Amino acid sequence: MALRTILTDNDPALHKVCRPVTSFDERLHDLIDDLKETLAEANGAGLAAPQVGILRRVVIVVDDEDNMLELVNPEIISQEGEQEGFEGCLSVPGRWGIVKRPQKARVRAQDRNGNFFEVVGEDIVARCFCHELEHLDGHLFTEHADRLYTNEELDEMIQAQEEG
């Protein structure tokens, strides 16, 4: 296992469409393990392969029980409801935006051995599914946000919300 470098927003790899995974081999397992280690080190909620420069359809999402879900060739097969909230990205450090997402999303994916499964996420996990899967098509959350906020502005807004 090894830590990989997380690319930031002007890197061309973040704006490309990733290819499906077709070989569920040791190379894929190494990539998944590295993504998990890199995500843990960065203390993030999710990480997609293109964020470390690998243009393959693989993402890791932290679920509401703190497990790292390994999603290979993931697709959102249904979604319902709506939520609006702050979103950030390890590839857009120190910037936050308000983004609308479904409240609930069901994903179909393959595991590291190619077996299909489905998983449902709500609230933050649904948000994370949408955010990470978009990375696989070269999109960033910043495309959905009217404006971006700094860490300081985010703190102030959260504090104001708590007080008000």
The residues annotated with a catalytic role in the active site are: 132
**47 token code pair:** 């990480």
Contacting range for Ni ion; rule: CB under 5 A; set: 11-19, 34-42, 83-91, 111-119: 83-91
CB of 113 to Ni ion, least distance (A): 26
**Does residue 35 interact with Ni ion by CB under 5 A?**
no
Cα 55 to Cα 57: distance, rounded to the nearest angstrom: 7
- Residue with Cβ nearer Ni ion (54 or 89): 89
> Residue 113: phi, psi to the nearest 5?
-105, 5
CB of 89 to Ni ion, least distance (A): 3
**Does residue 89 interact with Ni ion by CB under 5 A?**
yes
In eight-state DSSP terms, residue 14 is G
Contacting range for Ni ion; rule: CB under 5 A; set: 2-10, 30-38, 88-96, 101-109: 88-96
Neighbours of 58 (CB within 10 A): 27
Best CA proximity match to 35, nearest among 48, 16, 17, 18: 48
**Does residue 39 interact with Ni ion by CB under 5 A?**
no
- Residue with Cβ nearer Ni ion (104 or 135): 135
Neighbours of 23 (CB within 10 A): 9
Residues in contact with Ni ion by CB under 5 A are 89
